[in-house]
Amino acid sequence: MVTAMEHCDLVAAALCGITDPALVPRSVCAMGHKWMWNESLGGLPPEEFLASVDPVLAGVRGLIGGRYQTSDAIAGHLASEWAARLGLKAGIPIPVGAFDAHWDAIGAGIREGDVVNVVGTSTCMMAIARQVGLIPGVCGVVKGSIHPGYYGIEAGLSAVGDIFEAIARRAGTSVSALSEGLGAFRAGSSGLLRMSWDNGDRTVLVNPNLGGVTLGWTLTTTAADELFAAIEGTAFHTRIILERMAAHGVSINRVINGGGIPQKNPVLNRVYANVFNKPVMVPSQEVTSLGSAIFAFMAAGAFPTIEAAQARLCPTYTVIEPEPAEVAVYEQLFALYGKLYFALGQPGAAPAAIGDVLPALRTLRR
């Protein structure tokens, strides 16, 4: 093995014509969140840890050299070979890369006090803070990984849209068809309470061995009921994560629902606003790849700061306000969800009294 590279770093190096591993631009975002690189702790984890994860990683620590930088740094300039192949001018500055969702958060207009939910097949949740410590159960707190001047906090759900697709597939239909009429559903009206563990738990239990759980089935429960309960379940799980972040010093004043699903699913946005009891902001147009454009403009010197670029380029928002009557019901459901989340999801959890759950679901069904 000569080296190991994250895809965003490989692309930048190739475009810049960099072939020496010692000169490769390394994304703080990619290396921090995936390789647990931390400058204040001496860089990469110890050799013993990496080898214990997989023997193939033995010795890799000494092979991952290069420049560890945030995305406001220049990775290099477009090489003549690639300029000719792409029909571009050689020498164009190329910024250090990052993960798609993290740049999407920039494109969504993130600022301190925001959480951006990039909701798609799964959900990636991003926040930024000037100062924050490690957060139990949150897989990534990396300085400079989203905005170069802030700590980036990343969390998420292992499946969201994939859960919706699975429900529709089992019902022999599509999500769009199954969603017809969901606008009439209200908080708890399905009579179901659904844990969104169909693909395990990424945050905060960090347990890939969990599976989906749905309580409250009756003889008249429909696939549409399950889909609505799944939307509610992903909202409850997201609130668990938001509360974990807030408990460890992350300010959360605004929630921005980015990604593809919020652009076409007003029911999800309404449920999320009511479960969080916070306004949910939905960009007026798709922001995917807008963050990469912002960093490209920054590399070219078109804007003096990321904030200036965001002010010019980021779209306006549609704001969904919470509805007090719905919030009141969701507070009761969330209490049940939170109890089950930790009782069922943690091996060795203390016994929990759950005999009130099913009767409560019947009572709250409307």
Digit-coded pLDDT (tens) for 251-268: 999 999 999 999 999 999
**pLDDT at position 139, please?**
78
Q: Which residues pair with 94 in a beta bridge?
A: 76
**pLDDT at position 316, please?**
97
Q: For residues 268, 272, 274 and 275, what is the CA-based torsion angle, rounded to 10 degrees?
A: 130
The pLDDT > 70 percentage for the chain reads 100
CA–CA distance from 279 to each of 21, 200, 234, 273, 293 (Å)? 47, 28, 17, 5, 28
CB 162 within 8 A of CB 227: no
The model's pLDDT over 324-350, given as tens digits with 9 standing for 90+, comes to 999 999 999 999 999 999 999 999 999
**pLDDT at position 41, please?**
86
**pLDDT at position 1, please?**
78
As its CATH architecture, domain 100-366 has: 2-Layer Sandwich (3.30)
**pLDDT over 90 (residue 40):** no
Instruction: Average the pLDDT over 85-99 and give the result.
Output: 97
Using the structure block, give the residue that is written with the tokens 């429900």. Answer: 167
CB 33 within 8 A of CB 153: no
**pLDDT over 80 (residue 366):** no
Tell which residue, 67, 124, 76, has the closest CA to residue 258: 124
pLDDT-derived band at 58 (thresholds 50, 70, 90) equals very high
Distance CA 39, CA 181 (A): 51
**pLDDT over 90 (residue 123):** yes
Helices first, then strands: H and E counts in the chain = 14, 13
Distance CA 26, CA 274 (A): 41
Tell which residue, 110, 99, 118, 117, has the closest CA to residue 149: 110
Q: Coil, strand or helix: which one is 321?
A: coil
292 phi/psi in degrees, rounded to 5 = -65, -35
Q: Coil, strand or helix: which one is 269?
A: helix
- CATH 3.30.420.40 occupies which residues in the chain? 100-366
pTM exceeding 0.85: yes
Instruction: Average the pLDDT over 225-235 and give the result.
Output: 98
- How far does CA 97 lie from the centroid of its chain? 18
pLDDT-derived band at 56 (thresholds 50, 70, 90) equals very high
**Lookup: tokens for 64:** 């991952």
Output the average pLDDT for the chain.
96
**pLDDT at position 107, please?**
97
The model's pLDDT over 306-328, given as tens digits with 9 standing for 90+, comes to 999 999 999 999 999 999 999 99
Instruction: Average the pLDDT over 48-67 and give the result.
Output: 93
CB 65 within 8 A of CB 106: no
